[in-house]
Structure 1
Amino acid sequence: MSAAVGAVSTTKDVTFNAHLEEELKNKGINKVDEEQDQLLYNDAAEETELEEEDSKLELDLGPQFSLKEQLEKDKDDESLRKWKEQLLGSVDMSAVGENKEPEVKILSLTIICQGRPELLLPIPFTTNSKKSSIFTLKEGSRYRLKFSFTVSNNIVSGLKYTNVVWKTGVRVDNAKRMLGTYSPQQEPYTYELEEETTPSGLFARGTYSARTKFVDDDRKCYLDATYHFEIQKNWPAAH
């Protein structure tokens, strides 16, 4: 959604193409759906293949423990207990489970545009059909993306947000943002990305395809969603 909800960061691979209009014009603006979907699946297959290659290089770090086991282990050693508290930070024990794997639930994505009502996108995204757009933004408008999520069972390390956007078969944005490490708690976390501007111009208008993912350092995926959105000359009429 980075045409609509991407992040500006040092890990961002591709910004909106400065020559987007010419590329789209040369490619033909009517060849949209088939090429977008094919690129979407090709990129997904390529990413999966790279992840499988990386997994072969992983080291065996020994047995894992649940967070509860980690906290209870050596609890009579005061110096070790204090060290763990300092290392782990504040942990909500009511959100700690026996499971060794952390669980992250992405609750919602919110698009914030100054002077407009916040646009809440509940998870999972729902549309009337495969090609339906879930939201529309005005060209040249400034926006921020805010999302909320919960963490339970164990600490999640290196949570990362990625977002890839296509238009008429051209990949126009590829954003990556490291969100950090979070301990379990019942209250949701919120994270707000930097402000960006939607592209503008005749060939920037239209329908976009996007794929948003949230993964951690262990490449565990907590959300992998594809959807469509639109950029138009004006804001949609209020209903």
Structure 2
Amino acid sequence: MEGGKRGDEAGPSSEKLGELSEKLNEVCHVGEDEEDEDEDHRSNGVAAGFVPGPLVSLKEQIEKDKDDDSLRRWKQKLLGCLESDSDGQMEPEVKFHSISIVSDDFGEINTPLPVDENQIGRVLFTLKEGSEYRLKLTFSVLHNIVSGLTYSNTVWKGGLQVDQSKGMLGTFAPNREPYEHTLEEETTPSGVLARGLYSARLKFEDDDKRCYMELKYSFEIKRQS
């Protein structure tokens, strides 16, 4: 980038943006292959052979290139002017506050997180066969940018895996206000064999394979009245 400050109408140059931590812009692509059940045996949630990139604290990201007015304003807009909260913490933290089930059958049922140990695996909701529903999450991002936050939801019935869905939530900067995100709409199966109790595992990871929450729950599908 050439010396001197750029005018107010000119944004940061591509060269300057390229020097930012890739945590600011990177969005990972979720693999299309089915998730291997051996993922439970990963060490510390990191796949074998995977080497995460170096972490840069939020404070460093804010202060870097602070003499460039246009770049500073761009960072402030992206990071929400969180200089006062940047205490040098390197690891991002995602804190989940609640999970809701939204359905035309019953409206919205909200469950605070984390779930009490004596409630793990309990039936969170009951749906009619052939009905549509969505999972809605409320969470906070603290300390640093979380890049490429993804979810996977695996469902079993009678000990057999019957469904698995994956999706991208996105990249989130620390924010004083919680984020709210609704997952893709799901439709329950229909028929005699579809009715009954199901167990499920909902898991959230970033593109460095850090796991922020793994929730085991159950739900029930009933006959249409």
Give the TM-score normalised by the residue count of structure 1: 0.70
> What letter is aligned with 1:225?
L
The structural deviation recorded for 1:206 is 0.8
Deviations 1:102-128 (A, max 9, x none): 110111111111252311122123485
Q: Which runs of no fewer than 5 residues in structure 2 stay unpaired?
A: 1-29
2:177 is matched with: 187
Shifted more, 189-198 versus 74-83: the winner is: 74-83
Q: 1:56 aligns with which of 44, 49, 62?
A: 49
Q: 1:217 aligns with which of 186, 207, 219?
A: 207
The structural deviation recorded for 1:203 is 1.2
When residues 214 and 129 of structure 1 are mapped into structure 2, their CA distance, relative to the original with a 3 A threshold, is closer
The structural deviation recorded for 1:56 is 1.9
**Residues 212 and 226 of structure 1 are in contact (CA less than 8 Å); yes or no, is this contact kept in structure 2?**
yes
Q: Which runs of no fewer than 5 residues in structure 1 stay unpaired?
A: 1-9, 15-41
2:80 is matched with: 91
**Residues 163 and 210 of structure 1 are in contact (CA less than 8 Å); yes or no, is this contact kept in structure 2?**
yes
Query: Which of the two has greater helix per residue?
Result: 1
The structural deviation recorded for 1:169 is 1.7
When residues 56 and 146 of structure 1 are mapped into structure 2, their CA distance, relative to the original with a 3 A threshold, is same
RMSD of aligned alpha carbons: 2.9
Q: What SS does structure 2 have at the residue aligned with 1:200?
A: coil
Q: 2:155 aligns with which of 165, 170, 194?
A: 165
In structure 2, distance between residues paired with 1:135 and 1:184: 31
Q: 1:70 aligns with which of 56, 61, 73?
A: 61
Q: 1:105 aligns with which of 69, 80, 95?
A: 95
Identity across the alignment (%): 48
Q: 1:199 aligns with which of 168, 189, 200?
A: 189
Q: 2:127 aligns with which of 137, 141, 161?
A: 137
Query: What is the correspondence of 1:38-49 to structure 2 with a 5 Å cutoff?
Result: 43=37, 46-49=38-41
In structure 2, distance between residues paired with 1:91 and 1:152: 12
In structure 1, distance between residues paired with 2:47 and 2:120: 32
Asked which structure has the greater RCO (Cα within 8 Å, sep 6+), the reply is 1
